[in-house]
Structures are given as structure tokens and as C-alpha cells.
Amino acid sequence: MKQLVNIVIVLAAVVLLFGDQLGITTVIPTAPFEVDKFSVVIVEETEERINLPRSQLTAMRSIKWLKYVEEKEGQWRKIDKDADVTGDEQWVQDALTVERDSLPWLLIATPDGGTSEPMPADLDAFLEVLKSHGE
Amino acid sequence: MPREPIIDDTNDSALTPPPGMSTGLDPRDMGKHPFGGLAKPFDLPIIDRSEWYDRIKEMEDSESLLSNTCDYLGMKCLDQNGTNYCWANGPVYCVEAVRAGMGLTPTLLSPASVAAPIKNYRNQGGWGTEALEYIIANGIYPASEWPVNSMSRKHKSDSGDESAQDFRVTEWYDLDGRDFNQLMTCLLLRIPVAVGYNWWGHEVSAIDPVIVGNGFGIRIRNSWGMAWGDRGYGILTERKATADDAVAPRVTAAT
């Protein structure tokens, strides 16, 4: 039994340390910021909209996902990375402090978990990510 | 077929202000407000016309037009109600639209809080960049603190000035005059544009790119109340839509 536990610990360490190189996605379902309801933040650079794939810009601007968030009694923002959010609610300010690898960036937070990842490439993919956290 | 009136050279009856309404645009004084003097000159690559049709159809099908968001959040058009402050109503509505796109709670803002101080509380015309200069420096009062059309200086206060800072724009584009391609590029990117038309003597807010017959136009939101056009929306065909003065807010404070 002790040997089995040790094997599991070693395997877990390997996945965490080398998961990306091995093509293994590690899902750490921790909310990127603290909230009491389903919350979605898209961070963008408005000047770079011209360089986004059309399908991605469409996904960001569609009201179809807003309707889903409202259905879940949630809240949302689409914020330029340079926007002054000092007057906005705490969850928005917290969301803007989360580390990002690129733009546009998607943050989803619920009381049970969430994700912090690049904005999906199209509306279908975006809705799929939302529903994976909203259901 | 759009529900809004389509305004072109053969159909301009909708251009006449309804009873009680007015316009108020003066041609932009380029000496006082030279191109690029306040806002960043438009420097984005132009989206080629060959792409416009497909992009607009995609925006319509996906409900990703800026007007979709404005309508979804229940935003009403402004109503200048006989003031000559169209030149402030246009930019102020654009700020409201940008805020709506950010997911901020829709807040009715006061165009008179911008125009009246500029004109020493007189009912006078102006141009969009005049309003922009004031908004950059001072922000916009919420209508709860300054009624949208009041020219009374009694509304100006220290606390109101503080509130107005919550409704500032921090990044704008100044578009070239008479450049329809720049205007369409902004609208395809869901950036609203305050547009002034010397031929009309009026300033409005350009919200969406639209397909009109075999060509293109823009969907505007006027400031003549919800009874004008379709809930304040109308369409200008390309020739009419090419603006003499155009400024586009990109980023606002989030409050």
C-alpha cells in the first residue's frame, strides 16, 4: 500500500512538472478570483481588435453568451487591460490582477472553481467553456 | 429589410427635427481643434471593403453588433429635447455604448453637463471635439446629478465633479474627415463613433455597419427621443454617412 501511494505521488509530480511537455493538461479548478456567483471576465487590448481572428472577435461581442451568464444569474465584464477599474467592484479589480500569458484572456470564476486561459477561438468553443463551469 | 428609416439622397424626410427637437452642430474649428490634437489620430489598418459584406452578415447572425448589446441591456437613445446640444449628445451616447459593451450597469449620462459649461450655460451649437475636450478633462455627470438637458449652473458642484470623473474616457480615436473606410473599420470592430454632418447641421452616434441594397451604410442612434426612427435608430447610406467630423471613444473608466 505504501509503495502504491509512493507511485501515485511520483506520477502526480511528473504530471505537474512536465505535463505541458507531455501534452497533458493539468486542470487546477481553483477560481482565479473570489466570487459568490458565476463570473466571467474577458481582458482585451482594444487597439488589437483589428488583429484578432474574426470568429474570436465575434465570440467576444456576441450577446449569446451574455444571455447564458444571465440565465445563470451571473455577472460579466469585457475590459481593456488599461481601463481604470478602481471604481468598479472588487471581483473586477481582482480579475485584472490575475496573470495573463496573452490577450484576449478569459477568466471564469464560480464559488466552486474556474479557469484562466486564452479566449477561445470562436463562439461555439467559448460557450462550451462557459457551460463546463456553469452547469 | 431594416425597420429603421433609410436616409439617402432620395429620402430625407427623417432629417427634419420633429416638433420640439433641434440640431446644433457647428462645423469643427480646425484652428481650435486640429486633427489629432486631442485624440489619437486613427492609425489602424483599414478593413478592406471586400470583407465588409461577410463580416456584417456574421455580426448579424451571431448577434454581435454593438446595437445588439445596447438593446439587450435596455439602453434608450438620448433626447436633446429642443436644446442645441446634439454635438454633446453624440459623444455622450458613444460613451454610454462603450460602457455597455464593457458590462457596466447602464447609466444615463448628462450631455448638458458637458455642453452647458462650455457655452457658459447658453443654448448654443458646437462640435463633437469640443465636447470631447471637456469629457477628457472633466468626465460626464450622471443624469441623477445633472438633468440631461438642464442649462442651469446650479447643478455644478464639487461632489458632482467627483462623480463625473467616474465617467471619463481615457482613449479615443480622431478619424480623418470624410473617410468612410475609417468609419466602417471602427464599426466593424464594435467601436462607436460620434459623427458630425455639416450638410445636416447635426451630430449623432454611429453604432453599426449595415448592408443597404447593393451597398453599405451605418446605423445611427439619434438624440431625438425613442419615437424617432426605430427607437431612435436610423440608417444613413454611404454618401450621407461619410462624416465631416468623427471621434471614437475606445476605453472608459470602469465604475
Which ipTM was obtained for this model?
0.92
Give Cα B65 to chain centroid, integer Å: 16
* CA–CA distances in Å: residue B35 to residues B29, B39, B131: 10, 8, 15
| pTM (2 d.p.) | 0.90
Yes or no, beta carbons of B103 and A82 under 8 Å apart: no
Q: What is the pLDDT of residue A17?
A: 59
Closest chain B C-alpha to A119 CA, distance in angstroms: 16
Say yes or no: B252 contacts chain A, CB-CB below 8 A. yes
Which of A67 and A5 is assigned the larger pLDDT?
A: A67
Size of interface A-B (CB pairs under 8 A): 86
Give Cα B6 to chain centroid, integer Å: 18
Yes or no, beta carbons of A84 and B250 under 8 Å apart: no
Closest chain B C-alpha to A83 CA, distance in angstroms: 6
Distance CA B85, CA B223 (A): 9
* CA–CA distances in Å: residue A106 to residues A86, A101, A124, A132, B38: 20, 11, 15, 14, 32
Mean of all residue pLDDT scores within chain B: 93
Backbone angles phi, psi at B202, to 5 degrees: -145, 150
Partners of A78 on chain B (C-beta within 8 Å) are: 101-103
Determine contact, residues A107/A95, Cβ cutoff 8 Å: yes
Partners of A92 on chain B (C-beta within 8 Å) are: 254
As a whole number, mean pLDDT of residues B123-151 equals 95
Distance CA B164, CA B225 (A): 24
Q: What is the pLDDT of residue B20?
A: 83
Yes or no, beta carbons of A87 and B185 under 8 Å apart: no
Q: At B36, is the pLDDT very low, low, confident or very high (cuts 50, 70, 90)?
A: confident
Say yes or no: B238 contacts chain A, CB-CB below 8 A. no
* CA–CA distances in Å: residue B156 to residues B80, B117, B122, B151, B161: 19, 9, 15, 10, 7
Nearest to A92 by CA among B105, B82, B107, B242: B105
Instruction: Write the pLDDT tens digit of every residue in B140-168.
Output: 999 999 999 999 999 999 999 999 999 98
Instruction: Write the pLDDT tens digit of every residue in A105-131.
Output: 999 999 999 999 999 999 999 999 999
Instruction: Write the pLDDT tens digit of every residue in B52-89.
Output: 999 999 999 999 999 999 999 999 999 999 899 999 99
Q: What is the pLDDT of residue B252?
A: 83
Question: DSSP character for A78?
Answer: E
